[in-house]
Amino acid sequence: MLYKVSVSFHQNHIKIIGDHIEIGIMTKPVKGEANLEIIKKIAKHLDIPKSNVRIVAGEKSKDKIVEVTQQSTKP
């Protein structure tokens, strides 16, 4: 499934509404560290491995498209 992701800096939150994710991260956008934090937070929130989350567009933007290849097994 593809999600549209909006990133806010210096905040710590995640909210999923339909196919849109609003996420706040504390990491600065240096050398891909912010993108790694985004992938980790989405994977943890959905209870899936990090390898099932990848950024397909917007790697250098605050607006991204993220693909999740496996949904959570949570009830």
CATH number, domain at 38?
3.30.1200.10
Confidence bin at 72 (pLDDT 50/70/90): low
For residue 36, the enclosing domain spans 2-61
What is the spatial distance between Cα 62 and Cα 75, in angstroms, rounded to a whole number? 31
Q: pLDDT tens across 27-67, in order?
A: 888 888 999 999 999 999 999 999 999 999 999 999 999 99
Q: Is the pLDDT of residue 19 over 90?
A: yes
Confidence bin at 73 (pLDDT 50/70/90): low
> Looking at the domain assignment, is residue 15 inside a domain?
yes
> Looking at the domain assignment, is residue 21 inside a domain?
yes
For residue 69, what pLDDT is reported? 92
Strand locations in 1-75 (E) = 2-9, 13-17, 20-25, 53-57, 63-68
Task: Quote the number of domains for the chain.
Answer: 1
> Looking at the domain assignment, is residue 75 inside a domain?
no
